[in-house]
Amino acid sequence: MKRALCTLSLLAVACSHSPTPTRPSSTAVAAGPELSGQWRGLFEITACSGARADCLGRTTAEFMLTFVPVGAGLEGVLVLLDNERTTVNVSGVPTADGNYAFTAAGYDQPSQGTYPVRTVVSSIACRTDAAGGLVGSMTYTNETFRAFTRTVAFRSAVRQPEAEHPGYFDGAWKGYYRTLSCSGDCRVGGGGYNFPTGGYLEMAFSEAGGQVVGTVLSLPVTGATQSDALSATGPALTANACSTCWDCEGVCQSAVQNVSARVDKLGRMSGTFEYSWKGWTGNEHFRQTGLVEMVGVTRRW
């Protein structure tokens, strides 16, 4: 198999800023059609520096790298299936010498609180290999709370057959959500129950005959699809007030409604939905509804 090498510089920026594409790599070599498709394999942390707690624990996890041809170039998405859920968009354009120059931009990923998930990927290399499929390495720094830098090696990635992707929305999806607006009792209990500004997002859908059933944040939804678009909703919050609840952290019921989403050929989902909570602080009842958007959501079969 012809060997292919791609070199990228990647930047995932803070929540309050839009992602900025990096400059094309000064070393661009032929990527070729052999990079097209989805690759899945393991990455191994081969070096780590920074806070000791961030350099302990699991040293291997899965990654996905997907490329599709767009015109004369390539577009792609890289996902490290680790705790940081590092996800970046990749594009490649042919150069005058017949090679490819790549640019990349990170998702604007929110965390559970008010802090951004800020990850800087300083270098990444990948190539096809007759024995190992797709192999390579990457160095990145996470600057969210305590800075740490990791170097990882891609191991034995295998191209996935198209038959594993029967529907636009079938499968498990993971990423983040970001709150765009909040209505209702958005600040109660002296500010102690503010609606979350963002957090992890997990969804699962099963699609058949244009109908979809699934879960969003573990809450049930049903709906329909048309081409690459999905519309779905779930049960609303009930009208009754919350009773005393000592083990629910103040929230007695949640609901997801009015899901509107699209998915592209790289397995990236974008869209919005309404996320509602109701609860009791011990002194007052509250109901909140936030309009949230999906951020960095990719299919995780």
Q: Are 39 and 64 in contact (CB under 8 A)?
A: yes
What does the pLDDT read at residue 114? 46
What does the pLDDT read at residue 8? 40
Rounded to whole angstroms, how far apart are CA atoms 44 and 60? 4
What does the pLDDT read at residue 247? 62
Q: Are 66 and 266 in contact (CB under 8 A)?
A: yes
What does the pLDDT read at residue 259? 98
For the chain, give the percent of residues with pLDDT over 90. 23
DSSP codes of every residue in 60-72: EEEEEEEEEEETT
Query: pLDDT tens across 137-147, in order?
Result: 888 877 766 67
What does the pLDDT read at residue 235? 97
Q: Tokens in use for 290?
A: 């936030």
What does the pLDDT read at residue 145? 61
Partners of 236 in beta bridges: none
Q: Tokens in use for 167?
A: 């529907």
What's the predicted TM-score (pTM) here?
0.72
Query: pLDDT tens across 106-132, in order?
Result: 665 555 554 455 677 777 777 777 776
What does the pLDDT read at residue 31? 45
* Residue stretches of the chain with pLDDT short of 50: 1-31, 114-115, 189, 191
267, amino acid identity = G
What does the pLDDT read at residue 186? 80
What does the pLDDT read at residue 2? 42
> Residue 32 class from Cβ within 10 Å (0-12 exposed, 13-18 middle, 19+ buried)?
middle
Q: Between the CA of residue 27 and those of 14, 67, 72, 78, 93, what are the distances in Å? A: 28, 19, 19, 20, 13
Q: Tokens in use for 95?
A: 């150069």
What does the pLDDT read at residue 238? 94
